[in-house]
Structure formats: C-alpha cells, structure tokens
Chains A and B, each alone.
Chain A
Amino acid sequence: MKKFALIKSILLKRLLGIFGATGFLMIFQACYGTPQNYMEIIGKIKDNETGTGIEGIQIKVKSDYQEMRILSDSNGNFTTLIKTTGYNLDFKIQDIDGELNGLYEDKDTSIDVNGQNSFVFKLNKIS
C-alpha cells in the first residue's frame, strides 16, 4: 500500500515537473518555519577554445549534505537545487557521451561558493 503510494507520488512529481512545478515540491517551507537551505545552481559548460556550449556533459555536484547529478543541455547550460550549508561545493565534470558532442577532458574542482550560485566551466577538447 505504502509502496504503491510512493510510486504514485514519484510519478506525479515527475508529471508536475513537465508543467514546471517541481521546485516548490522539494523546497517547501513550513508556514511558521525557516526556508530550507537549498541553493539553486546555474551553470554553463563551454569549449575552452571556441567558447560554445557543450551538450551532454555530466556534472556531479556535491555539498556536505548531498550529491546531485545533471546533464548539460544543447546550449551547455545546467541547473539544479542542492541542500548545502553554502560554503563548499565539489564539482566533478565528465564527458559521458564519448564523441557524440565532441570528446572533452574531465574536470574536478572544489569551490568556496561564498554566495556565488552561477558557474562557468571550460573544458579542453581532446583532438
């Protein structure tokens, strides 16, 4: 019973996502409570030489509370919400689609965010 409700809940959440309504499901705020400490991360993956966005790059971003995994879109953009104390984020950037959108070197970096929520990463193409 509970398992069925859980599956239903996940499916409905995904359906609501199609209508652009997932954010508030995740980051609700009790009416007399504080906001939850989620941070919205906005970023772009670029080719280091040409500056154009790269599609299909996997970005793993890890805070001291959780890890999120996302893919860059056709313009190289990505966005996610992550629960964090807001101090440090570890990014692991990997080309996982092989030569499909060009072959790029991986990148690992740790950033002291200090209020910053927008990130640009430039990757070197492997020729």
Chain B
Amino acid sequence: MTFSIKERIVKRLFAGYKKSQAKVHPLTYLFWECTLRCNLNCIHCGSDCKKESNIKDMPIDDFVAVLKNIKTRYKASEVMVVLTGGEPTLRKDLEECGHKIRNEGFPWGMVTNGFSLTQESFYKLLNAGLGALTLSLDGLEENHNWLRGNKSSYERAIKSLKIISKAPNLVYDVVTCVNRRNLKQLGEIRQLLLNNDVKAWRLFTIAPIGRATLFEDLSLSQEEIKYLFEFIKSNRNDDRIKINFSCEAYTGEYENKIRDGLFYCRAGINIGSVLADGSVSACPNISRNFIQGNIYEREFTDIWENEFNFFRKRKWMKNGICKNCNEYKYCLGGAMHLRTEENSEILSCLYHKMNNN
C-alpha cells in the first residue's frame, strides 16, 4: 500500500485534527431516537426494533427541554438534529416535533424507510423545516423486500423516492446496505437512482450487530469488499450522482477515493444522541453499554461535558487485531458501534478483512 506525499501529509494533519477535536468535543450533530416502533422487520436492523415497543415515544416537550439546555452552550444553528428510530414517520406528532425543533432554531433532518410517507405528509414536514433526509433503498425489488422483511416495502420506498426527489430545496441521499445478494446489482441500482434524479447515493456494508448477526448473507468476503470499493471508485467521476462509501470504517488505500472525507468516528466527539428512554449516548446504534447518562436525571450538557471519556480517549481500543496494526494512528480503532463494551475488541474491520485471508 503506497500513498503520495500529499496523501501522507493530509492523513497526518487529519490525525492531529482528530486529537484536538476530541479535547474540544463541540456538539454539532444530535440524534433523537424519537420512537422505537417500526413498520418493517428488517433482518439487518442494528437496533432490533419492533412494530410495538415497550418504551413509549418520548414526549416532544421533553426533547425541546434538551434543546433549550443545549442552547445555553451551543449556537442552535450549528447543531444538526436528526430524527431516527425505529421509524420516525410512525409518530403522529412528527410535524409538530419538526415545528418545535425549528422554532428553537435547530436545523433538522430525518432518516426514514419511506414506507408510510405520502405527498401530503412530506409537504407538511417540509413546512415544519425538514432540511435533510435519508431514504433507505437496499436493492432491486426482490432483495430490498427480503432485507426489509415486507413484500411491498420496495414499491413504497420507490413511491417515496419519487416524492422526495421532486423537492428542490431538500438535501437528501439514498442509502443502500450492500450484502452478498445485491452486490452484483449495484450497476442496476445506480441506473434506477439516475432514472429518478437522485443526486447522492451512500453505500454501507452491514455491521454484525443487532439482528444482522443471524444472517450470513449479509457479510461481505474479502473479494466482495474489494469489488464494492472498486465499484464506488470507478463511478465517482459521474457528476450526475455523487456516490460515497459511508463513514463506517477505515478503508486503507481507498481512503479519500471512495468518499469525500477520511474515516473519522465522531461518536461522542461531535455526535451525541438522546435515545427513546432518555438515555444519552452517541450514535443510536452504539451498544447500550456505552450509555453516559439520562436526561431525566441530569442535564444533557452536564453529561456531554463531563462524561464520554471512553469516546474521547480511545487508547483502550488498541487491542485485538488493532493492537499491532500500522494504521491504528489513522483509524484510532475503528467505529464505536463495532465495540460492545469498554475494552472489547472490534467486531469486524474492513481494512483487516481486505488485507488478510
């Protein structure tokens, strides 16, 4: 693996930038797990969500209290609020939630499976300040429906895609979880997205967490990972659609060739979350063993400023396959959602998988 001098300098500078950011840890991205209910039954669900949840949806006013607290330390306009779940559109008061978040001055977006979005509900959300959206499309019809556990989920997602793609002011992308079944269909999926005027497409692999651990078809082999990265690399020059690999893992020689930025897990550094039960963590798919507090017991900013040590001091992650890895200084032990608890080893590493048989 060889890097140009410029690449090496950028990687070094970026490693220094990451260290300083961990110390400053400015909150710029806040997830709100606004419900744990979901209308699909995805076999790769990292949250293991169900149609009905034992945990009731958090009242919007409780979340607004968190936002008011955040405003005592941060400019609202500089913190992006992202509604996730479960499936956010199952909240009957979603429009009201949007208005209230917007009225506090926060930009907000939403991650959705598109199953229950309608033209009318979409317009209402836009009027409530929806500024960014991510829609899941996990393949052509058969594979999408298989992964999503619902025979009409593809049809509904495409219907939503047609609605979303006609909104000129919305920043949105389509995400696809790449697995063994849809890997060789990526060219066709790309064409489908082009036909629907999609401008941004983000590709994931599936992490072995939640229900995804039960299905072997979801995990890519060494050759398949390389195939995916080469596909992205060779299609990134097309101005019609911007293709990015998600920021889920360090990719060695493919860094900066398959996505706009270098790998950087910002969980607990720039990214925080308020989970459905009031727990405070970083990204919602991170193990519940890393919960740092609860908004019903302490103020969010108190937790953000005084906890999160495991996220900001990651030397403990230099264990297992990371221990003697030469790239550790750049990846700092990978993404937090791939650790189950403090001092645990990484569940999987794409870089390691690519470079070791």
Give chain A nearest CB distance to B350 CB in angstroms.
13
A85 lies within 8 A of B131 (CB): yes
Task: Check if B247 sits within 8 Å of A28, measured CB to CB.
Answer: yes
* Distance between Cα atoms of A16 and B31 in the complex (Å): 28
Instruction: Determine whether the beta carbon of B111 is less than 8 Å from that of A33.
Output: yes
**Cβ of B82 and Cβ of A23 under 8 Å apart?**
no
Contacts of B237 in A (CB 8 A): none
Q: How far is the CA of A87 from the CA of B171 in the complex (A)?
A: 12
CB contacts (< 8 Å) of A9 on chain B: these are: 17, 20-21, 24
Identify which of residues 259-295 in chain B touch chain A, using a CB-to-CB cut-off of 8 Å: 260-262, 264-267, 270-271, 283-285
Q: Which residues of A contact B10 (CB under 8 A)?
A: 16, 19, 21
Q: Which residue of A lies closest to B260 (CB)?
A: A24
The yes or no answer to A69 lying at the interface (CB within 8 A) is no
Interface bracket on B: 35 or more
Within B82-121, the residues touching A (CB, 8 Å) are: 82, 84, 107, 109-111
Residue in contact with A5 in the complex, picked from B23, B134, B262, CB distance below 8 Å: B23
Interface flag for B13 (CB, 8 Å): yes
Tell me, in angstroms, the Cα distance from A27 to B84 when the chains sit together. Answer: 19
Kindly list chain B residues whose C-beta atoms are within 8 Å of the C-beta of A84: 131
B77, A65: Cβ atoms closer than 8 Å: yes
Whether B111 and A12, one on each chain, are in contact in the complex, defined by CB atoms closer than 8 angstroms, is no
User: Which of A35-43, A90-98, A118-126 makes up part of the contact surface?
Assistant: A35-43
**Interface: B133 (CB within 8 A):** yes
A117 to chain B, nearest CB (A): 10
A68 at the interface (CB under 8 A from B): no
* Cβ contact of A37, chosen from B171, B200, B248, B260, cutoff 8 A: B171
**Interface of B: prevailing SS:** mixed
At the interface, yes or no: B138 with Cβ under 8 Å from chain A?
no
Main secondary structure of the interface of A (DSSP, over half): loop
B88–chain A nearest beta-carbon distance, Å: 11
Interface residues of A toward B: which range? 35 or more
CA distance A29 to B301 in the complex (A): 22
Cross-chain contact B169 with A31 (CB below 8 angstroms): no
Q: Name the residue among A5, A29, A65, A66 with the largest chain B CB count within 10 angstroms.
A: A29
Contact partners of B320 in chain A: CB under 8 A: none
Q: By the criterion CB–CB under 8 Å, are A29 and B247 in contact? A: yes
A38 surroundings in chain B (CB, below 8 A):
171
Q: Contact check: which of B173, B260, B261, B283 meets A30 at CB < 8 Å?
A: B283
**Residues of chain A with a CB closer than 8 A to B122's CB:** none
CB neighbours of B172 from chain A (8 A): 34-35
Does B308 count as interface, using CB distance less than 8 angstroms? no
Interface flag for A70 (CB, 8 Å): no
Q: Does A6 contact B (CB under 8 A)?
A: yes
Q: Would you call B246 an interface residue if the criterion is a C-beta within 8 Å of the partner chain's C-beta atoms?
A: yes
Whole-angstrom distance from the CB of B258 to the nearest CB of chain A?
A: 13
Q: Give 3 closest A-B pairs by Cβ, nearest first.
A: A24-B261, A115-B168, A86-B169
Interface set of B (CB-CB < 8 Å, partner A): 6, 9-10, 13-14, 16-17, 20-21, 23-24, 29, 31, 46, 77-78, 80, 82, 84, 107, 109-111, 129, 131-134, 168-173, 200, 202, 204, 246-248, 260-262, 264-267, 270-271, 283-285, 335, 337
A-B contact list, 20 entries, CB within 8 Å = A5-B21, A15-B13, A16-B10, A16-B13, A23-B260, A24-B262, A25-B17, A28-B29, A30-B247, A31-B247, A32-B46, A32-B283, A33-B31, A33-B111, A34-B80, A34-B109, A34-B110, A37-B109, A84-B131, A86-B171
Residues of A within 8 A of B (CB): 1-2, 5-6, 8-9, 12-13, 15-16, 19, 21, 23-25, 27-39, 65-66, 83-87, 113-115
